[in-house]
Amino acid sequence: MFSAALCESPYQDPRQDETRARLTTREMEIIKLVADGKTYREIAHILGLSVKTVDCYSQRIKLKTQCYSVALLVRLAIKNGWVDL
């Protein structure tokens, strides 16, 4: 599956720069908070959004990155330096 190959490859994929460019600032904020272990409810509170809005952002992030699980998304974010450990 394309998403597994994209998210699990040990090598930097040039398509990741393209993926990062498609993500909005708000989407990157949400990725960072998800990677920090926050729930959608906590993210909503922190960003002043509804839980439904955070879920909508999450769905868009998953479509753009083709990582359909939180674990793969966090792995992608760490691998590409989008979040700090």
In which band, very low, low, confident or very high, does the pLDDT at 1 lie, cut at 50, 70 and 90? Answer: very low
Judged against a pLDDT cut of 80, whether residue 10 lies above it is answered with no
51 or 12, which is more confident: 51
Place of tokens 């599956």: 1
Host domain of residue 65 = 15-78
Q: Say how many domains are in the chain.
A: 1
Would you say residue 8 lies in a domain?
no
% the chain with pLDDT above 70: 75
Q: Which pLDDT score is estimated for 16?
A: 54
- Residue 61 maps to which CATH number? 1.10.10.10
Residues 6/67, Cβ–Cβ less than 8 Å: yes
Would you say residue 3 lies in a domain?
no
pLDDT in tens, 52-81: 999 999 999 999 999 999 999 999 999 989
Question: What pTM does this model have?
Answer: 0.75
